[in-house]
């Protein structure tokens, strides 16, 4: 009985001293640390930026739902800030003025610690933030640091339900963003290594790797796919008449059209110079030609302005189906698509041609 009384007295002493609450806090903190380590281990394994952001958003959703969330990222190549904005954790086309990225960037380079928006507003001056920015109801702002320094900002709006963010919630977001910063910078550098700096499309080497993978997949799954080779008609005329800057503008506009008119799972690349290529997955000959004509017409509808001139662009296209019955490698498929492209050029340009094996080719294949 006396021993029980001593234990009870010790417990009451711990309770009155506040040590029990401290112990409970430490246990919660320990659980949060275990969770963030588990979350981070998977996050840093991703190389695709969209997958990273989807994962982080799913993790944040486990804790709370912010009214607004924005990732402002400055890639290692180029001056344009990428914005990934979410309203109620759903992607939105809302944008934040670039001046605010610069404003926060300068502040975090002086003081690299995350802060509440109220603290930043007081420090930087409330008059710097207009109503368009304030309507996102910013509450927390986090820096994203990589090897070369700061390259991104994360803005977290107020919670939909509940009061201000708790200390544990702020710690979790701060930690997951630290891991995201490392993973995203790795992803951005990998992206830079496989994309063309002028157009943002995939490089020739990456396209060839994807094509080789597609050939193997077609044979294994007994499905079809196809490739499209594009060449800008009379491209030399743009450079000779309007200058290389206009020629570059043509290539950039064409790249944007190719990306817009292609599916997300297809691989769109700058093959070299004014030649482009698209790997079209899961399609037969008819589907491949539909894709080719859709892109060709979209390019034909493009209008570029060079001084007082309004310029139009056309492309010639060669198409080649990847057939599971054929013993083909990536290089031979490209050669066949180029032959079809040459036929489009010879038949008047601004047209699409599907490669069809001739009788001699068929006879040779039967002998093999």
Residue 321 lies in a domain: yes
Residue 135 lies in a domain: yes
Q: Which of 193, 226, 255 is the last residue of a domain?
A: 193
The CATH code of the domain that includes 34 is 3.30.450.40
pLDDT band at 25 (very low <50, low <70, confident <90, very high): low
Q: Tell me the residue length of the chain.
A: 368
Q: Which of 193, 226, 251 is the last residue of a domain?
A: 193
Residues 286 and 347 in one domain: yes
Residues 119 and 147 in one domain: yes
- Distance CA(309)–CA(250), nearest Å, equals 14
Residue 124 lies in a domain: yes
Residues 183 and 36 in one domain: yes
Residue 305 lies in a domain: yes
- Distance CA(285)–CA(227), nearest Å, equals 10
Residues 188 and 222 in one domain: no
Residue 198 lies in a domain: no
Residues 277 and 312 in one domain: yes
- Distance CA(181)–CA(169), nearest Å, equals 18
Residues 104 and 239 in one domain: no
Q: Which tens digit of pLDDT belongs to each residue from 106-164? A: 999 999 999 999 999 999 998 999 999 999 999 999 999 988 889 999 999 999 887 88
Cα 344 to the chain's mean position, in Å?
A: 34
pLDDT at 330 over 80: yes
Sign of the dihedral through C-alpha 91, 97, 99, 104: negative
pLDDT at 188 over 50: yes
Report if pTM > 0.85.
no
What is the tally of structural domains in the chain?
Answer: 2
Helix pair 167-194, 49-61: axis angle to 10 deg: 170
pLDDT band at 262 (very low <50, low <70, confident <90, very high): very high
Range of lowest pLDDT (12-16, 144-148, 272-276): 12-16
- Distance CA(74)–CA(230), nearest Å, equals 31
Residue 163 lies in a domain: yes
Q: Supply the mean pLDDT for the chain.
A: 86
pLDDT at 254 over 90: yes
Q: What percent of the chain has pLDDT over 90?
A: 55
pLDDT at 41 over 90: no
- Asked if 160 and 63 touch (Cβ cutoff 8 Å), the reply is no
What would the two tokens of residue 95 be?
């944008």
pLDDT band at 9 (very low <50, low <70, confident <90, very high): low
**331 is in which domain, residue-wise?**
204-367
pLDDT at 306 over 90: no
Q: Which tens digit of pLDDT belongs to each residue from 82-114? A: 999 999 889 999 999 999 999 999 999 999 999
């Amino acid at each position: 009985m006396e021993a029980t009384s001593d234990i009870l007295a010790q417990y009451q002493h711990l309770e009155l001293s506040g040590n029990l609450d401290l112990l409970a806090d430490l246990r919660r903190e320990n659980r949060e640390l275990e969770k963030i380590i588990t979350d981070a281990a998977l996050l840093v394994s991703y190389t695709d930026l969209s997958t990273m952001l989807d994962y982080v958003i799913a993790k944040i959703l486990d804790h709370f739902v912010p009214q607004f969330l924005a990732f402002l990222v400055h890639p290692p190549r180029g001056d344009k800030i990428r914005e990934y904005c979410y309203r109620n954790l759903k992607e939105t086309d809302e944008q934040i003025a670039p001046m605010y990225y610069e404003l926060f960037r300068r502040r975090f380079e002086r003081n690299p610690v995350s802060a509440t928006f109220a603290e930043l507003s007081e420090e930087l001056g409330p008059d710097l933030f207009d109503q368009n920015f304030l309507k996102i109801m910013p509450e927390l702002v986090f820096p994203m640091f990589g090897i070369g320094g700061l390259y991104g900002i994360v803005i977290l709006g107020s919670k939909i339900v509940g009061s201000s963010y708790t200390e544990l919630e702020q710690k979790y977001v701060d930690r997951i963003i630290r891991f995201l910063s490392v993973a995203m910078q790795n992803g951005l550098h990998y992206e830079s290594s496989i994309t063309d700096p002028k157009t943002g499309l995939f490089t020739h080497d990456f396209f060839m790797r994807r094509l080789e993978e597609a050939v193997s997949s077609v044979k294994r799954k007994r499905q079809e796919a196809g490739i499209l080779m594009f060449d800008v008609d009379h491209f030399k005329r743009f450079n000779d008449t309007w200058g290389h800057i206009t020629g570059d503008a043509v290539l950039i506009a064409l790249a944007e059209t190719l990306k817009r008119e292609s599916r997300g799972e297809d691989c769109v690349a700058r093959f070299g110079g004014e030649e482009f290529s698209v790997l079209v997955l899961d399609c037969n000959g008819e589907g491949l030609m539909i894709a080719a004509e859709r892109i060709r017409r979209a390019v034909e509808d493009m209008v570029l302005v060079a001084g007082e001139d309004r310029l139009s662009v056309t492309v010639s296209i060669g198409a080649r189906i990847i057939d599971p019955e054929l013993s083909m490698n990536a290089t031979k498929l490209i050669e066949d698509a180029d032959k079809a492209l040459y036929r489009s050029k010879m038949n008047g340009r601004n047209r699409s041609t599907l490669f069809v094996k001739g009788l001699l080719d068929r006879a040779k294949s039967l002998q093999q």
